[in-house]
């Protein structure tokens, strides 16, 4: 910027505290004083020029012109930035030196008349060049020993062409007292100014080298022991600040007092006191002390004497269970019986109950509802895939990172010594080289032994006899016999069609309506719609898929409500097919007319009962037996037993006794890709074989289930409830069942009882009399007097080849 050096300027004055600005320097700093901010604003309104000079005393808060150095720098304000807390940051560029001539009165800020100091014409000499080189070298040395110096300064120093310019730039970057910098600013001749800077640089370099030498010698004097002492003192101070400077003996005494408050048995108490004594002898920071401390904290946190009071009001508990779960009457009755006995007597210890049934029928949720109904804390322990015995019993403390087992961890989390522990998926336990977790559960699930259960980590007995254990399993056969013997087994059958309907209507739909932000007036499921969803879009034992489908429908309703402003929805068969697509499962079709060699059987699957037609074809051949339809070993043997039964009764049944020589028999169960097994299709296959050999049709409106022996006796089967529901669903009006299964009819759904006629039978002759048209009459005496001849015996061998 060009100035008229002959004219004085009247400009605002900005006093600086501890800061000296040199010409041609670009710096920024914060301004907080009110008068200084006013001076900046005044300068910005005029020509952005302001006079910067340093206070003689940096402590002075409201300086006057007299308190300032007369020599300063006229500068141009480049940028003004507003900062929080009423401060302003300015960026200024020094222009040239100036001196105060006289103050100018202004109430709001400092003003002064200043005289610009013009640099005298300068002619470079050899001595000046040598001086500049010397100063640059000394400055390089300064940069080597001085901290916090940016490396790019050396390049800017090299660009300086005149002594005054070099002196100003170096002085502005040196770490010096502001009085010293001000003295250099006031030196006008360039050579004298640079000589003064050289003296200061040499002196600073000398002092910095002495400091470096003192520091190096001091470090050498500190040997290893002094260093360790220094570090320990530092650690002690840090621990004091963090509150971790506990006295080991005081800490051990605190643990001992807490142990006494537990009132444990003498042996357990002594074992814990020994741990306290070990802790007392160890330094605080040792690793072993940390292990003992963690152990004692874990043991003392266990609920040794804390138990929750049972809120046993039988009528209320029944209502709570009925409200949360539909059906499951056996489970509810068993739990209520146990609670009633506990209400009358405290002598009965915790019982171990196993809920066994297919997935999704509510085993885990009913267990949690039981805990809630009686006011106990509950913890769920997932056992699926657990292979390590230490997961149950815990790890011994000799191992790094050892922790208690899942049983003790669950008790600790529950906070009471009588919680309800739900051992989920107990049939999914596995074993490997680390041990058998199933064997570790033998002590836990034994009410006669678990009053002194010893976890490997805790290492003192804990009473689990007050804990109510509820286990769940899908496959009872996968549970080892000794473990199963310790539990009372309650089987949950798959839900029937009617039960699924009621569960969906009373529980699933209201739950999903709330989760999706609807009310019962906005979305209404019709009765036919719910049945349609159950019949054609799900095929499961439980209701998980059904709940997911209901949620899917409601999500689609939510989209329509927001996009198309639809307020109410009626979910019927048409709406379901529109939202979910075509039917996923079709009804099993069975013949609507009497046919030869086709019999309706009934089968149990994990997703409920199914109608299982059995087809038999007889052809001319050499006595071969073909079994197809993915039949399991037991079912294949059942088919061979049926053939032997027919052969051994050929005379009374009116069948050619030599059919096994010149006839090939093919037995097939449709849906060949679906595996099938079990003996309950015995009478179905025997009836179909008899029909095919005698060429007499079998009634299409009748179904049957039962195991058959070689002499034609009908043995009982399982899964009668599901099988009869399948018959009801397919319109079968008569079901033949084994005589010994007659008591099981009490568990049959009431709707099925009203629509289906059940006929108990004891012998195969009764079956063919009921199912086959135009059968011959066989007396009891004729049937019982049948003998298996040697010829028949050889025939059995032929069948089994």
Please identify every residue annotated as catalytic: 680, 723
- Burial code (b: 16+ CB inside 10 Å, e: under 16) for 8-25 equals bbebbbbbbeeebbbbeb
Neighbours of 89 (CB within 10 A): 13
* Distance separating alpha carbons of residues 261 and 277, to the nearest angstrom: 18
* Distance separating alpha carbons of residues 617 and 625, to the nearest angstrom: 10
- CA 606 distance to own-chain centroid: 29
Asked if 11 and 49 count as a contact pair (C-beta separation under 8 A), the reply is: yes
Residue whose C-alpha is closest to residue 464's, from 437, 443, 485: 443
* Distance separating alpha carbons of residues 659 and 798, to the nearest angstrom: 13
Q: Token pair of 387, please?
A: 């292979």
* DSSP-H helix ranges across 159-247: 163-173, 178-185, 190-221, 224-242
Q: Is 148 left (phi over 0), alpha (psi -120 to 50) or beta?
A: left
Q: Token pair of 407, please?
A: 């049983």
* Distance separating alpha carbons of residues 54 and 37, to the nearest angstrom: 16
* In the block, residue with structure tokens 């730039």: 169
* In the block, residue with structure tokens 């050498």: 220
- Identify the H or E element spanning 424: strand 420-424
Residue whose C-alpha is closest to residue 307's, from 455, 469, 453, 465: 465
Judged by DSSP in three states, 515 sits in: helix
DSSP 370: H
Give me the half-sphere count of Cα atoms (radius 13 Å) on the Cβ side of residue 680. 27
Judged by DSSP in three states, 220 sits in: helix
Q: Token pair of 103, please?
A: 């103050």
Residue whose C-alpha is closest to residue 446's, from 482, 404, 403: 482
* Distance separating alpha carbons of residues 492 and 503, to the nearest angstrom: 15
Please state the φ and ψ torsions of residue 789, each to the nearest 5 degrees: -80, 165
Please state the φ and ψ torsions of residue 625, each to the nearest 5 degrees: -115, 120
Asked if 79 and 91 count as a contact pair (C-beta separation under 8 A), the reply is: yes
71-83 and 87-104 beta bridge pairing = antiparallel
Sheet of strand 468-473, all strands in order from the earlier edge strand to the far edge? 378-382, 420-424, 468-473, 352-356, 488-491
Neighbours of 695 (CB within 10 A): 10
Please state the φ and ψ torsions of residue 80, each to the nearest 5 degrees: -125, 125
Q: CA distances (Å), 146 to each of 150, 173, 177, 210, 214, in order?
A: 10, 11, 15, 12, 15
Please state the φ and ψ torsions of residue 551, each to the nearest 5 degrees: -65, -40
Cα angle for residues 528, 531, 535 (degrees, 5° grid): 135
Asked if 721 and 496 count as a contact pair (C-beta separation under 8 A), the reply is: yes
Q: Is residue 369 exposed (0-12), middle (13-18) or buried (19+ Cβ within 10 Å)?
A: buried
760 - beta bridge partners? 737
* Distance separating alpha carbons of residues 590 and 721, to the nearest angstrom: 20
Asked if 351 and 488 count as a contact pair (C-beta separation under 8 A), the reply is: yes
Asked if 674 and 685 count as a contact pair (C-beta separation under 8 A), the reply is: no
């Amino acid at each position: 910027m060009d100035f008229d050096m002959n004219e004085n300027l009247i400009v605002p004055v900005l006093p600086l505290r501890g800061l000296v600005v040199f010409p041609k320097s670009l710096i920024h700093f914060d301004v907080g004083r009110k008068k200084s901010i006013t001076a900046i604003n005044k300068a910005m309104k005029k020509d952005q020029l302001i006079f910067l000079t340093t206070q003689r005393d940096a402590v002075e808060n409201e300086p006057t012109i007299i308190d300032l150095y007369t020599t300063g720098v006229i500068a141009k304000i480049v940028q003004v930035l507003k900062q929080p807390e009423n401060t302003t940051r300015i960026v200024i560029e020094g222009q040239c030196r100036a001196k105060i001539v006289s103050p100018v009165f202004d109430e709001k800020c400092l003003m002064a008349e200043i005289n610009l100091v013009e640099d005298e014409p300068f002619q470079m000499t050899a001595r000046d060049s040598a001086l500049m080189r010397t100063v640059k070298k000394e400055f390089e040395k300064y940069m080597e020993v001085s901290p916090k110096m940016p490396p790019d300064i050396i390049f800017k120093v090299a660009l300086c062409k005149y002594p005054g310019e070099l002196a100003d730039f170096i002085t502005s970057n040196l770490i010096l007292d502001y009085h010293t910098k001000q003295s250099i600013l006031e030196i006008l001749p360039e050579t004298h100014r640079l000589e003064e800077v050289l003296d200061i640089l040499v002196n600073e370099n000398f002092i910095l080298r002495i400091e470096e030498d003192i520091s190096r010698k001091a470090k050498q004097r500190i040997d290893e022991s002094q260093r360790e002492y220094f570090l320990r003192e530092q650690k002690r101070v840090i621990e004091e600040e963090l509150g971790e400077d506990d006295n080991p003996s005081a800490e051990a005494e605190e643990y001992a007092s807490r142990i006494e408050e537990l009132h444990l048995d003498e042996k357990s108490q002594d074992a814990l006191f020994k741990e306290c004594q070990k802790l007392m002898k160890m330094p605080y920071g040792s690793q072993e002390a940390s292990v003992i401390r963690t152990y004692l904290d874990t043991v003392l946190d266990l609920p040794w004497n804390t138990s929750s009071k049972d809120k046993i009001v039988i009528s209320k508990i029944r209502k709570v269970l009925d409200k949360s779960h539909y059906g499951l009457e056996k489970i509810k009755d068993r739990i209520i019986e146990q609670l009633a006995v506990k209400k009358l007597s405290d002598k009965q210890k915790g019982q171990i109950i196993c809920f066994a049934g297919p997935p999704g029928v509510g085993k885990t949720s009913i267990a949690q509802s039981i805990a809630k109904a009686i006011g106990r804390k509950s913890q769920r322990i997932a056992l699926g895939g657990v292979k390590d015995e230490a997961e149950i019993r815990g790890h011994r403390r000799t191992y790094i990172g050892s922790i208690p087992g899942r049983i003790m961890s669950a008790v600790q989390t529950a906070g009471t010594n009588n919680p309800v522990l739900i051992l989920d998926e107990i049939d999914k336990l596995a074993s490997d080289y680390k041990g058998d977790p199933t064997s570790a559960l033998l002590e836990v699930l034994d009410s006669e032994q678990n009053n002194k259960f010893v976890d490997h980590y805790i290492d003192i007995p804990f009473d689990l006899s007050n804990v109510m254990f509820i286990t769940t399993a899908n496959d009872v056969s996968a549970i080892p016999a000794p473990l199963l013997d310790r539990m009372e087994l309650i089987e949950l059958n798959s839900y029937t069609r009617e039960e699924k309907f009621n569960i969906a209507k009373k529980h699933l739909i209201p739950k999903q309506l709330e989760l999706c932000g609807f009310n019962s007036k906005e979305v209404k499921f019709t009765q036919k719609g719910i049945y349609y969803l159950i019949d054609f879009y799900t095929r499961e034992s439980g209701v998980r898929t059904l709940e997911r489908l209901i949620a899917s429908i409601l999500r689609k309703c939510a989209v329509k409500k927001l996009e198309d402003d639809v307020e109410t929805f009626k979910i019927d068969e048409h709406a379901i097919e529109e939202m979910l697509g075509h039917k996923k499962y079709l009804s099993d079709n069975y013949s609507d007319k009497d046919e030869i060699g086709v019999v309706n059987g009934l089968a149990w699957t994990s997703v409920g009962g199914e109608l299982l037609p059995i087809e038999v074809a007889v052809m001319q051949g050499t006595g071969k037996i073909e079994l197809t339809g993915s039949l399991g070993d037991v079912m294949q043997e059942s088919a061979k037993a049926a053939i032997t039964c027919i052969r051994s009764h050929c005379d009374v049944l009116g069948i050619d006794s030599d059919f096994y020589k010149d006839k090939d028999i093919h037995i097939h169960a449709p849906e060949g890709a679906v595996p099938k097994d079990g003996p309950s299709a015995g009478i179905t296959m025997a009836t179909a074989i008899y029909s095919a050999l005698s060429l007499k049709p079998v009634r299409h409106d009748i179904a049957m289930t039962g195991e058959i022996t070689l002499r034609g006796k009908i043995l009982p089967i399982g899964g009668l409830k599901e099988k009869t529901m399948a018959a009801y669903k397919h319109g079968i009006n008569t079901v033949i069942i084994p005589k010994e299964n007659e008591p099981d009819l009490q568990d049959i759904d009431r709707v099925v009882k009203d629509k289906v006629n059940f006929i108990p039978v004891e012998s195969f002759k009764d079956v063919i009399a009921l199912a086959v048209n135009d059968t011959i009459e066989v007396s009891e005496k004729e049937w019982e007097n049948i003998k298996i001849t040697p010829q028949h015996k050889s025939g059995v061998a032929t069948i089994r080849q």
